[in-house]
Structure 1
Amino acid sequence: MIHGYKNCLTIKFKKMNKIIFASIAGIFLGIGITYFTLNTTKNTKTEDPLESKIVFSTQPNQTAGYYFPTHDNLLVMDRSNAEVSEAFIVQIAPNKYTHRHVHDDTEQLFYIISGKGKLTLERLGKKEVFDLLPSNFVHIPRNCYHQTFSQENDTLKYLAIDCFPKGCNPNEPSWDSHARAVCKMNDWNYDEARKKKI
């Protein structure tokens, strides 16, 4: 009886080991396919990671400024310095707001530094409204129209990080080329956007 029980357990363990091995092999295969698929679609103009800049300043006097009619963007890390990301500080003056817009190529992450505001986000046929307070962390999914509003008497300031799952648009390999496209799309003057307003 005990011998038969041991044989039964041995067979079950062998089957379980095969299942575990197949699962691990599947995971590695999936990672490999994802890596090589992303490798062929991402922006190939990215700098060599061994030569890219590592530490960046967030001080306004050390960042390239883009002063749009609705808000300011202070470039922290250009997309040309990374494989699938970029970072900038967004500043929205009291009682002002960003234009309503959508990103099909990037999801965004915000870290609220100071000020108070609201975020409207449209997804699944609904418009949602969220309060924004210092130290909040925000995720904006791709393909969701959104708009950020500053409230009260303080400037709303947050760090924005764009994450491009398939690499950035090859027609916009740098933040500056993207800013030019945004100005053209909104009929804003690019040269004026480069002049600090305050």
Structure 2
Amino acid sequence: MKLFIKYMVSSRCKELVLTELKNLGVQSQYVMIDLGMVEILESITKKQRRILEENLRHSGLEVLDSKKSRMIDKIKDTIVEMIQSEYMPVTNYSDFLSKKLKYDYTYMANVFSDVKGITIQQFIIINKIEKVKELLLYNELSLTEISNRMNYSSVAHLSNQFKKVTGLTPSFYKQIREKREKAMSDV
């Protein structure tokens, strides 16, 4: 069972939610918690959910209804599917998401950022960089080919975003991988 929690954007908030779940008798080993989301492997009763909602509300957090929860899952799944596809759509991401999910983009963006603590655009960038890292590891495509495949305007734009997210340049990241592979083959 997934619960999406609005305004849960820090580790302190995660600890608060975990404490509230423990107080309700939910076993912590069955709880997966991330910013904006809690996944409980056991189900909770309606009464437990109501108590959780009330206790979290006093701390400034809000459990979202299931409609918004499903929407956030759909947004994340659509973005991951879009990025993992062979070729990313050339259209504007906001138009693509609105058309695919049949929601107003501003509404989706507001709900997403309230819950996840980052914007949809930031989520897209993070996932694109993960895909770029994967493509760099395969060593089958040049940086120019990766840039084109991931719809970056230039290799420089890709490199800047990569460095901003990872703290490394793509070429340095590739060198680290190559050194690691060489060290492993020497063993």
Shorter-chain TM-score: what band?
under 0.3
Q: Of the two structures, which has the highest relative contact order with CA contacts closer than 8 Å and spacing of 6 or more?
A: 1
Work out which of the two has the higher radius of gyration on C-alpha atoms and give 1 or 2: 1
Greater fraction strand: 1
Greater fraction helix: 2
TM-score of the pair, normalised by structure 2: 0.23
TM-score of the pair, normalised by structure 1: 0.22
